[in-house]
Amino acid sequence: MLTLASDFGSPYPAAMRGVIHEMTEDATLVDITHDLPRQDVRTAAFWLKELLPWFPRAVHCCVVDPGVGTDRHAVVVLADGHALVGPDNGLLAPVARCLGTDPEWYRITEIGPASSTFHGRDVFAPWAARVHEAGIGAVPDMPDLRPLHEPVDLQFPTPEVSSTHAAGEVLVIDDFGNLITNIPGDYLAERMGDPVTVNGKAVPTGRAYAAVSPEQRLVTVGSHGNVELAVNQGRGDEAFDLGVGESVLIE
């Protein structure tokens, strides 16, 4: 199985699908999404970490690549039997750590003939197909790969959690407008059902969005396991007036 994720929208991903089908014929090819926020490596890294672990072992071709055509490396990463193929710009670091404790990084030493503007089609898709055809276990012995000892890292900020409060920030806003924070959902477990304050204002807590009336704000635990600021059947980003990176203090 191969998966594809990118910020290419439409229609460019079709060329990647074509290249992969041309090289693998019978492979199952699954789109993760091609609507990752444009050239936003950090948000894309969050979503890859949330989504890829649900898949069986596969070759995952992931491209959010503002440095396409520059000298940033192209990499193949092995993590717990999965293979990740993409640019070395931090995009793959969180998901690699999440999949396996000791990911192995390889840089691609020979990208072959390629445009300077669409390595998704010209480098990453063909390499994903090559890894798929060789088998993930064969990656350490593939030609044109060298161990990469210092891949570009990307870390999400650590929240400060005590018995009385949790101080974190908004990591990502999803398509529904839910504000996904970096505060672990466990913090809310013993307070569930009681109101808390968010940046000084009282907000109810609830396990389900429908724990409050439509259009009402709530603090819940999202499907990613983190504290989420939301509005039942509405947009949390507007109601809480917070953006990515802004501070969230829950007391």
| Burial class (CB within 10 angstroms; exposed 0-12, middle 13-18, buried 19+) of 136 | middle
List Cβ neighbours of 43 (8 Å cut-off, separation of 6 or more). 36, 37, 172, 244
End-to-end CA distance of the chain: 45
Q: How far is the CB of 86 from a second copy (least distance, A)?
A: 16
Distance CA 67, CA 75 (A): 14
Q: Which stretch binds a second copy (CB under 8 A): 51-59, 93-101, 134-142, 154-162?
A: 51-59
- C-beta of residue 218 within 8 angstroms of C-beta of residue 208: no
- Map residues 203-222 to x or -, x wherever contact with a second copy holds by CB under 8 A: ----xxxxx--------xxx
Read off the tokens for 49. Answer: 């970490």
- What count of other Cβ atoms lies within 10 Å of the Cβ of residue 143? 8
- Map residues 125-154 to x or -, x wherever contact with a second copy holds by CB under 8 A: ------------------------------
Give the total residue count for the chain. 251
Q: Does 52 bind a second copy (CB under 8 A)?
A: yes
Instruction: Name the residue with tokens 């019978």.
Output: 26
Indicate which single residue of 88, 169, 174, 237 sits in contact with a second copy (rule: CB under 8 A): 174
- C-beta of residue 155 within 8 angstroms of C-beta of residue 90: no
Q: Which stretch binds a second copy (CB under 8 A): 78-86, 112-120, 137-145, 195-203?
A: 112-120
Q: How far is the CB of 76 from a second copy (least distance, A)?
A: 20
Based on its alpha-carbon atoms, the radius of gyration of the chain, rounded to whole angstroms, reads 20
Q: Does 10 bind a second copy (CB under 8 A)?
A: yes
Tell me whether residue 50 or residue 237 sits nearer to a second copy (CB atom).
Answer: 50
Q: How far is the CB of 40 from a second copy (least distance, A)?
A: 10
Indicate which single residue of 45, 49, 50, 219 sits in contact with a second copy (rule: CB under 8 A): 50
Interaction site with a second copy (CB under 8 A): 1, 3, 5, 8-15, 17-19, 21-22, 25-26, 28-33, 35-36, 38-39, 47, 50-56, 66-70, 115-118, 121-122, 174-176, 207-211, 220-223, 225, 228, 233
